[in-house]
A and B are shown apart, each in its own frame.
Chain A
């Protein structure tokens, strides 16, 4: 039994719960994918702005549209587009996994890991497939 005097003093200005301490957690597929789902969602919000900008450029005429296409076809644009495509497939596959959970399926620990790795593999494969297909067009 430890007396209260042995414990480290509690922070004085803390108003919320102090646990879990994420910085000492070993990264696991489950937590990494959970975090990646939110991060890719935030990233896709930015790409949604690009989609609207692209539509605006197309509506504005061939000049603005060509400038927009030139930016997207530059090296930086292609890298960002590739990252966006990966975020899209990660969020799509992860979202389908979440929908199965919402319906009450796939909660067994082995299933969680099988579906998690399936999401990773499918996202990588679909990104590569999209890249190959667009380079053939």
Chain B
């Protein structure tokens, strides 16, 4: 309490520490998690429904505009959530210089996979 009262009114109002964004990653992980609940349940149900379908059936499903949109939204939420989660694990367990290399590899790989997945989805929806 003593420390709290020593903070300036402006500091309390702004509510930001020296990092200026301490909860940003934590919050982004929760937002992507909430988005992924309906999106992944939809994907799981759809994949179950199409588990007996042939190539033509799957392509016809993927060509629906709503399916393409939901898949793109899922890929963005999935890979941002994945990158945030893996980075937390790396930050918790790797304390050597390899930490920075691992964080960069995770970020680059997740971003690349996300773009690759979106391109494949759009190729099916718009070109095939």
A interface residues (Cβ-Cβ under 8 A, vs B): 16, 38, 41-42, 44-45, 48-49, 51-52, 55-56, 58-59, 62, 65-66, 85, 88, 92, 95-96, 98-99, 102, 130, 133-134, 137
Contact = CB atoms under 8 A, between A and B. Distances in A.
A92 B40 contact: yes
A99 B117 contact: no
Given A52-B117, A65-B58, A102 B85 contact: no
- Tell me whether chain B's interface is mostly helix, strand or loop, or mixed: helix
A61 B13 CA distance: 57
13 contacts: A44-B82, A45-B85, A45-B86, A48-B78, A48-B82, A52-B113, A58-B58, A58-B59, A59-B124, A65-B55, A92-B40, A99-B30, A137-B51
B52 A137 contact: yes
A134 B113 contact: no
A130 B119 CA distance: 29
B89 A49 contact: no
A45 B48 contact: no
B7 interface: no
A66 B86 contact: no
Contacts of B85: 41, 45
